[in-house]
Structure 1
Amino acid sequence: MSGDFEMLDAQNSSQLSKPGPSSRNTANGRLNGNGRHVEDSSMSEDDDMPLSQTTRTKSEPATPDLRKQKRKRVQYNHDSSDDDKPLASTPVKVSTSRAGASGSAPVSNGVGKKQKSKGKAKLEPSDSEDDAPLVKAKGKRAVNGKEKKQPPKKKVKKSESGDDAELESEDDKPIVKETLKRKRKGKQANGTAVAESSDDDKPLTKSTTKKTVAKKVVKKEESGTESTQTQVQTKKRASKVKKEGADEESSKKGKKKEGDEDDEEVFKWWEQQNADGDGSVKWQTLEHNGVCFPQPYEPLPKGVQMKYAGKSVDLPPLAEEVAGFYAALLETEHAQDSTFNGNFFDDFLKILKKNPPRDGTKITSFEKCDFRPMFEHFEAEKAKKKSLTTAEKKEIKAAKDQFEAPYTHCTLDGRKEKVGNFRIEPPGLFRGRGGHPKKGALKFRLRPEDITINIGEDAPVPVPNVPGKWKAVIHDQTVTWLANWTENVNGNHKYVFLAAGSSLKGQSDMSKFEKARELKKHVDRIRKDYTEDLKNKMMQIRQRATAMYFIDRLALRAGNEKGDDEADTVGCCSLRCEHVTLEPPHWIIFDFLGKDSIRYYNRVTVDPQVFKNIKIFKNDKLDDDDLFDRVNTSVLNKHLTSYMKGLTAKVFRTYNASITFQEQLDQGTPVDGTVQEKLAAYNSANRMVAILCNHQRAVPKTHEQSMGKMRDKLRGFKYERRKLRHALFAISSKFKKDEKYAEDESDLDEDGIVEHEEQWKAKEIERMEKKFQKENEKLVEEGKEAQDDSVLQGRIENIEVEFQRLVKERGTGKAELKREKPAEKIEEAIEKLDDKIKAFRLQMEDREAGKEVALGTSKINYLDPRITAAWCKQYNVPIEKLFSKTLLTKFPWAMEVEGDWKF
């Protein structure tokens, strides 16, 4: 890192990302979740909210022969235990047999289609008659044994890479299902066989703006030929289908943009088989455009300056940028932290030494610094951004997307893959987690000279988007990162990997969970051995057995040694005597800071021999001495590999989380329950795992506000039910005697009704004002005259009239609906509301129960996603209610399991 520190602009500094959801620390006992305490958390449940719609696309069913070929796919082998880095496999090797012995290579949908569409690879020839080309000669086709001229081939626009795409003939276009059905009927009528087409043998056409409808191709058969009449009918039907397809496409125009990600073909790497499993070479070709650096810093307006001892200070750009980093955080909890302030000011003084104030001000005291003028400027800029029109926001986003577009994807072995963290982290102040000793330290601006690029040997070297040259350009096919650098605060190595949904990361995830699943075969033997070793005469073996007991039963992390300048977090092997308290006859109290400085507190009963061992280990030791002074993670993991290849202590954590989750789901899911009841059972099982793994969090600051909104919504349901009941009574007084409708809604008094109606009025007026504003913006964009304010006033008056009607109905026990409904319809509506109220109450209880537990961490990292996918299929629960779009993209391979799959 060079000596001068060029920093980020104030706009970027005000948008620095907060620390992500912490990976929660060591766990509570499996059966002992009491005594939990949390000091810090930044995870929000909103990040884990599932989608409300399906994101996966279904492909056309293949012919029976092609299904057999799919089962014979080449597959990657996995042999990595590193959960944090994507595991790349060697390139796919083409099988020498097809469906036994046909001689052609089976190719998955993703590979075949993408390669063909790009014109970069050719499929192997097939001996199968089904794969024979239908066209007899260029520009001609065979009909009744004669050559018939075809329409001229249509040219295709050049691809994004600039290469000419293959010319697309009529025979290469997909056949519409309706046309195929009619062909088959024609065959039955006159004995003529019609060639069928499968999507597996066609290039992708989804990205084109117009639908192409193929003309029917007739294949000559020994049994007979197609009549002229059939040919005429075929042409008419094809023309009709083509017209219908064009109409359908025009109606959809504007809903999806060309090149929409949802339309991209998914490379189904999990269907591959028989790939090289040596784990050495991860890829053959790799092309990418490097990383995206943030824009240079732009100085603040002249009138915006920090103050020192009450006087404005004229800072040079580099010093001003660093001051802006702190100013942006002035109203956060970081600015109230003495460690944060101390580290920031130390680094600020270093910057000031090289970039002193232009007016000669000597800054020596943090207490005399006033950053509020800068803070107020940043707040004003935020307000301006919020006040932008929708069109202006879209324009800004489009410009940003265009700037980042070259970096979002790479080409790996001929496939387009999404890149994960392609943006270089901007400069700012290190925030850390928990009690990190370096929080507040300055993170330098990174330049190309700090970045090492990994790329294919024959690939063009990308040009940085800022001045400078790469630190190094390497061609290492044994690793899966695209770029790396070393950050200055902690000296950690940072990497750019492919996105979570990429094939390499997917293989890493699948390998991790398969390894945990394999542990099932060995876990009984391992437990038997370490239970016997608890009494071993050798101290090292006894300590190792006790540590394994804690890792297995309490899901503790193994723990690694920490440096003096790192947060004092520990795991099982790095526990000190002060972290463990003995309480006779056989209770142990754990109290320490785990990963991300999350406090782990647990009072748990243990095996009598374990209690005895801990007492021996603590004998004649000081509080800051290591509890397991003869065991570390290396010794422990080396021992575990003797049971199973690749087995480490962290595999136990994944195994225990997944097996516990599976057992809880099997025991607690109501077979005949509603969807909401099943979801409550799912979340309950997830909470058990989160408690086991100590995935705790502080109660969110917005929890009470969120619960308040939910209570208001529940009151709205009850209010609506009350109105329906009263409308029912107005139809006939006999309904008053019905037990279902006799009693008023509980906890809905007159005050609650008044408050609800007032809120309803305010929301309706606000909604109408926003709608009116959007309508006017649209009219102005179209060059038309905006509506007069009197239009809005008229709409508001209508709301006032409706509100006055509700006021008159208060206390009368009568209600008038906007639209008259028969009694049967009102009864149905009340029944639906009863179900809705019941489900919503369950949702509220679930939210309250999980306020101190982070369910997202285990769902992302520790629970085999196939458990969720199979459970959803078994109990008819939409997986979008549990998995967000991010998780569905991350785990496409898990969606293929059947409903009876078990971990």
Structure 2
Amino acid sequence: MSSDDDRPIRPGPSSMNGNGRAAPNGNGRHENASSSLSEDDGDIPLSQSVRTKSEPLTPDVRALKRKKAAVYSSSSEDDTPLKSSPAKQAKSAAVPMPGAVQATAVHAPNGKGAARKAKSTKPAIQSSDDDSDDDVPVAKKKRVTTNGKGRPAKKRVKKEESDDEFDIESEDDKPIAVKKPAAKGKRKLKEESDADDDEDDKPIKKKTPAKRTPVKKVKKEEASSSETPQPKKRGTKVKKEMDSGEDKKSKKKKKEEEEEEEVYKWWEAQQGGDGSEKWQTLEHNGVYFPPPYEALPRNIKLRYNGKPVDLPPAAEEVAGFYAALLEMDHAKDATFNKNFFEDFLQVLKKNPPRDGTKITKFELCDFRPMYEHFEAVKAQKKSMTTAEKKDAKAIKDALEAPYTHCVLDGRKEKVGNFRVEPPGLFRGRGEHPKKGRLKLRVRPEDVTINIGEGVPIPKPNVPGTWKAVVHDKTVTWLANWVENVNGNYKYVFLAAGSSLKGQSDMQKFEKARELKKHVATVRQWYNDALKEKVMKERQLATCLYFIDVLALRAGNEKGEDEADTVGCCSLRYEHITLEPPNFLVFDFLGKDSIRYYNRVQVDERVFRNIKIFKDQTSEGDPLFDRVETSDVNKKLSSFMKGLTAKVFRTYNASITFQQQLDQGTPEKGTVQEKLNAYNHANRMVAILCNHQRAAPKTHEQSMQKMKEKLRGFKYERMKLRHALFAIDSKFKKKKLYAEDESDLDDDAVAEHEEQWKAREIEKAEKKFLKDNEKLVEQGEKPQPESALKEKIKEVETEFKRLKKERGTNKHELKREKPTDKIEEAIQKLDEKIKAFKLQMEDREAGKEVALGTSKINYLDPRITAAWCKKHDVPIEKIFSKTLLTKFPWAMEVDPDWQF
């Protein structure tokens, strides 16, 4: 294969330039310029270009040329502020989508027991139906094998085992792997699992209920498929079936009724009233408080000035919070250390060391013994057997089970963040002045719960009583409390896939979509008002220009004890630099202390306005001293009811995404090429919205693994070529097979084979240990060590043979294959190599751009669903299970749907 194997394979050009927009010509007009969809982030200028006066006002991607920003990834999920009380629910703007319920709801069998089947589209989209199992008594379902005429097959059904195809743990932050359907005639029967797992840990799969047959025959089949096959005993078995038949029928009927109640087509239902009340009845079990602190072993102590300190539990717990972070960047941060030690000293005043030690200097504190203990505990947990991990998870799930769901208007709904965050150290985001402060333990006396009237008031799982119990139907939170670090309210809401949250999301995107009808009017106003004599109007118009063209947030006032982050209305003199004739350089900290740096060409009138505003102010003064966020939103709402700066940001993100997909998706490309086009469009929106992230610490390691995998594909291709040469030397003359694979010299081959050998030996050792664990669990004798040694010997023998083949240009396959099959395998490898290079390129391009934020919050999910259907891309490759559960209403839009 020629050396161009390693050249980056890029999709076809789009109409965007390197900055994500059409390049301006000498007259200031924009002309289309070729651009690669897969350019590296390092090559994508993090800058945005904007419309000129002569350019149409339709927004495009404004590429950002940013200096390397100090991006912090120190935040944890626990520190992410929860939402404040949701706004009043307006009359639904839901778009009727007949059939969308099949994407998420569990369909109960009809009276005859036959399952209602949903017509699948390509790609088939199945949402999780795990919730249905939580409503019914735990019982295993049995399938009945039928013959071609629908009657039960005479052949006895054997004991069933779980199908490994579905034993895959789903990750929320990763797209779901598409599973291949089982071949006809080889489909295994599968019992329903009675483990009440969390939805996010289950793979998405299609349930096909078995056809119902007469009671006697069904019972016979069930008995034969039980876990322990029993010998046939005439009379006893029949009697047992007769005794339990009615009971099982009633249970099954009850389960069917409960499943039928779960099918709630909220996106098709008419929303009555003025939207002031969100629910009528609400019942839940409150929130789950973390367990109390367990003291460390006596030999594990904080050391001060080289001596162990006997701390009481309250002080030891706080010291442990810091010790756990000892090897992280937080412990190297001066502000973090200062704030922690101040709070630690306050705790020590109330809980002084038992041995009388006086702790006064942070530098003399040695947290290393505690850190090493925590690391040992982590290692011990990792070394647990699969059975031990399952047992631990089962205990944890059992404790949390009562809090995972609530009953809303008679329907069972999943609760989102039902766990109260444990105490710890506040990490904040970016340069937060309070990072390192102690987050106190939340107790029932701090928590207010919201519940329906007349229902039992839940009891907390720890000692204490609720701060208050309210019955407010106009809000959607179940509980709230005030955290002590920033004084913010924390709320417990329903899960992302719940009806209330789904309605809120749908209305948000419908409102952004409605802006299409009014955006021209808004732009006409602010373009005219840029030269208004009234200074407030001119400032307001300039703000709207920035919000529209640069997708800036409106910005709010910040307190002295909060991070110095700003938005459009709170920009100060020093945040914008003028560069004649009409360039502005923005440099400030945006939300989450992410640096926003952007050199952008603007309208001449905007440039003149900023010059006037700066001439009237000095460093530290606000540029828009006559405009506040409320003024901006009030003006926007005059054009369209409910229009805010955030709606504008959502609109610009979604419309830009739609345009990028329309322009950049290759019609006849491979699935991977289309995915790269999708990710490129997503990246352009993330750049527009300034969604940056620090490159993952494991990025280089991950890329190295991908390079090794690519080398493995090339090695495999080389061996197939050599197998052809061994069969017939005429293949050496074929251009397709004549040249060696690039980057695969003798040293690379030797290194690859050594690494491969080590992996095979490691794999054999792990399999040996796992098999022995299973044998011991089943009460059988484990395999002897000689079995492992024999397996390792086989591996070493095979690699000795491969070593002898080096440099011979010949290879002997383990199984003989005709030449046409070998050529077909080489062709498939070529396609695999091409697709894998695209994946590597995409991974490298997105290392410093956070794609998830825009995908979750700013991009209408219907754009993705329609694009996937139109271009035959499985949506599971883009949306994780969490997003499929979050956006069920978007899953069955028409392929030609446009934002």
SS of the residue 1:821 aligns to = coil
Where does residue 665 of structure 1 map in the other structure? 661
Structure 1 position 371, deviation (Å): 1.0
Is 2:378 aligned against 1:375? no
Q: Distance in 2 between matches of 1:267 and 1:314?
A: 58
Where does residue 401 of structure 2 map in the other structure? 405
Where does residue 61 of structure 1 map in the other structure? none
Counterpart pick for 1:736 among 724, 732, 738: 732
SS of the residue 1:610 aligns to = helix
Where does residue 516 of structure 1 map in the other structure? 512
Determine if contact 1:86/1:497 at 8 Å carries over to the other structure. no
Q: Distance in 1 between matches of 2:792 and 2:683?
A: 47
Q: Distance in 2 between matches of 1:34 and 1:91?
A: 42
SS of the residue 2:413 aligns to = strand
Q: Deviations over 1:124-175 (max 9, x none)?
A: xxxxxxxxxxxxxxxxxxxxxxxxxxxxxxxxxxxxxxxxxxxxxx983413
Where does residue 561 of structure 2 map in the other structure? 565
Superposition pairs of residues 724-763 of structure 1, within 5 angstroms: 724-763=720-759
Determine if contact 1:721/1:830 at 8 Å carries over to the other structure. yes
Q: Distance in 1 between matches of 2:321 and 2:803?
A: 53
Where does residue 506 of structure 1 map in the other structure? 502
Structure 1 position 32, deviation (Å): 3.4
Q: Deviations over 1:250-284 (max 9, x none)?
A: 95445633666567776453443322141101001
Is 2:62 aligned against 1:31? yes
Counterpart pick for 1:240 among 142, 149, 152: 152
Q: Deviations over 1:587-619 (max 9, x none)?
A: 000000000000000000000000000000111
Determine if contact 2:147/2:153 at 8 Å carries over to the other structure. no
Q: Distance in 1 between matches of 2:857 and 2:468?
A: 33
Q: Deviations over 1:50-99 (max 9, x none)?
A: xxxxxxxxxxxxxxxxxxxxxxxxxxxxxxxx99766786999xxxxxx9
Counterpart pick for 1:769 among 752, 765, 769: 765
Q: Aligned pair in 2 of structure 1 residues 668, 174: CA closer, same or farther (>3 Å)?
A: same
Counterpart pick for 1:896 among 888, 892, 896: 892
Structure 1 position 177, deviation (Å): 8.4
Q: Distance in 2 between matches of 1:805 and 1:113?
A: 55
Aligned-partner residue type, residue 193 of structure 2: K
Aligned-partner residue type, residue 725 of structure 1: R
Is 2:114 aligned against 1:175? yes
Q: Distance in 1 between matches of 2:874 and 2:444?
A: 46
Q: Distance in 1 between matches of 2:794 and 2:536?
A: 82
Determine if contact 2:509/2:650 at 8 Å carries over to the other structure. yes
SS of the residue 1:806 aligns to = helix
Structure 1 position 696, deviation (Å): 1.2
Q: Deviations over 1:534-578 (max 9, x none)?
A: 000000000000000000000001000000000000000000011
Counterpart pick for 2:871 among 868, 875, 878: 875
Is 2:194 aligned against 1:257? yes
Is 2:320 aligned against 1:324? yes
Structure 1 position 34, deviation (Å): 1.6
Q: Aligned pair in 2 of structure 1 residues 602, 267: CA closer, same or farther (>3 Å)?
A: farther
Where does residue 210 of structure 1 map in the other structure? 141
Structure 1 position 38, deviation (Å): 2.6
Structure 1 position 735, deviation (Å): 1.1
Q: Aligned pair in 2 of structure 1 residues 492, 177: CA closer, same or farther (>3 Å)?
A: closer
Where does residue 230 of structure 1 map in the other structure? none
Aligned-partner residue type, residue 330 of structure 1: L
Aligned-partner residue type, residue 34 of structure 1: K
Determine if contact 2:141/2:191 at 8 Å carries over to the other structure. no
Q: Deviations over 1:399-439 (max 9, x none)?
A: 00111011111111111111000000000000001100000
Is 2:858 aligned against 1:862? yes
Aligned-partner residue type, residue 553 of structure 2: R
Superposition pairs of residues 120-269 of structure 1, within 5 angstroms: 172-175=111-114, 208-211=139-142, 240=152, 252-254=189-191, 256-257=193-194, 261=199, 267-269=263-265
Q: Distance in 1 between matches of 2:780 and 2:65?
A: 66
Q: Distance in 2 between matches of 1:309 and 1:606?
A: 60
With normalisation by structure 2, the TM-score equals 0.78
Q: Distance in 2 between matches of 1:27 and 1:326?
A: 39
- After TM superposition, the structure 1 stretch with the greater mean CA deviation from structure 2, 255-264 or 695-704, is 255-264
SS of the residue 2:344 aligns to = helix
SS of the residue 2:502 aligns to = helix
Aligned-partner residue type, residue 209 of structure 1: K
Where does residue 626 of structure 1 map in the other structure? 622
Q: Distance in 2 between matches of 1:259 and 1:297?
A: 28
Structure 1 position 751, deviation (Å): 1.0
Q: Distance in 2 between matches of 1:361 and 1:541?
A: 65
Q: Aligned pair in 2 of structure 1 residues 585, 296: CA closer, same or farther (>3 Å)?
A: same
Where does residue 579 of structure 1 map in the other structure? 575
Superposition pairs of residues 217-616 of structure 1, within 5 angstroms: 240=152, 252-254=189-191, 256-257=193-194, 261=199, 267-616=263-612
Report the number of matched residues: 734
Structure 1 position 35, deviation (Å): 2.6
Q: Aligned pair in 2 of structure 1 residues 849, 85: CA closer, same or farther (>3 Å)?
A: farther
Where does residue 824 of structure 2 map in the other structure? 828
Where does residue 74 of structure 1 map in the other structure? none
Q: Aligned pair in 2 of structure 1 residues 386, 213: CA closer, same or farther (>3 Å)?
A: closer
Q: Aligned pair in 2 of structure 1 residues 466, 207: CA closer, same or farther (>3 Å)?
A: closer
Q: Aligned pair in 2 of structure 1 residues 763, 579: CA closer, same or farther (>3 Å)?
A: same
Q: Deviations over 1:231-268 (max 9, x none)?
A: xxx99966527999999899544563366656777645
SS of the residue 1:591 aligns to = strand
Aligned-partner residue type, residue 656 of structure 1: N
Determine if contact 2:47/2:65 at 8 Å carries over to the other structure. no
Where does residue 835 of structure 2 map in the other structure? 839
Aligned-partner residue type, residue 240 of structure 1: P
Q: Distance in 2 between matches of 1:351 and 1:784?
A: 55
Structure 1 position 110, deviation (Å): 11
Counterpart pick for 1:680 among 672, 676, 699: 676
Q: Distance in 2 between matches of 1:32 and 1:236?
A: 61
Q: Aligned pair in 2 of structure 1 residues 671, 243: CA closer, same or farther (>3 Å)?
A: same
Determine if contact 1:43/1:697 at 8 Å carries over to the other structure. no
Q: Aligned pair in 2 of structure 1 residues 522, 243: CA closer, same or farther (>3 Å)?
A: farther
Structure 1 position 31, deviation (Å): 3.1
Structure 1 position 457, deviation (Å): 0.4
Q: Aligned pair in 2 of structure 1 residues 554, 236: CA closer, same or farther (>3 Å)?
A: closer
Q: Aligned pair in 2 of structure 1 residues 570, 771: CA closer, same or farther (>3 Å)?
A: same
Where does residue 30 of structure 2 map in the other structure? none
Q: Aligned pair in 2 of structure 1 residues 484, 257: CA closer, same or farther (>3 Å)?
A: same
SS of the residue 1:269 aligns to = coil
Structure 1 position 668, deviation (Å): 0.6
Q: Aligned pair in 2 of structure 1 residues 612, 109: CA closer, same or farther (>3 Å)?
A: closer
Q: Distance in 2 between matches of 1:235 and 1:592?
A: 71
Determine if contact 2:558/2:564 at 8 Å carries over to the other structure. yes
Q: Aligned pair in 2 of structure 1 residues 461, 84: CA closer, same or farther (>3 Å)?
A: closer
Where does residue 236 of structure 2 map in the other structure? none
Q: Distance in 2 between matches of 1:494 and 1:442?
A: 16
Q: Distance in 2 between matches of 1:109 and 1:732?
A: 55
Where does residue 11 of structure 2 map in the other structure? none
Determine if contact 2:339/2:436 at 8 Å carries over to the other structure. yes
Is 2:719 aligned against 1:723? yes
With normalisation by structure 1, the TM-score equals 0.77
Please say which structure displays the higher CA radius of gyration. 1
Aligned-partner residue type, residue 113 of structure 2: P
Where does residue 43 of structure 2 map in the other structure? none
What residue ranges of structure 2 are gaps of 5+ in the alignment? Answer: 1-45, 50-60, 76-81, 93-97, 118-133, 163-187, 208-258
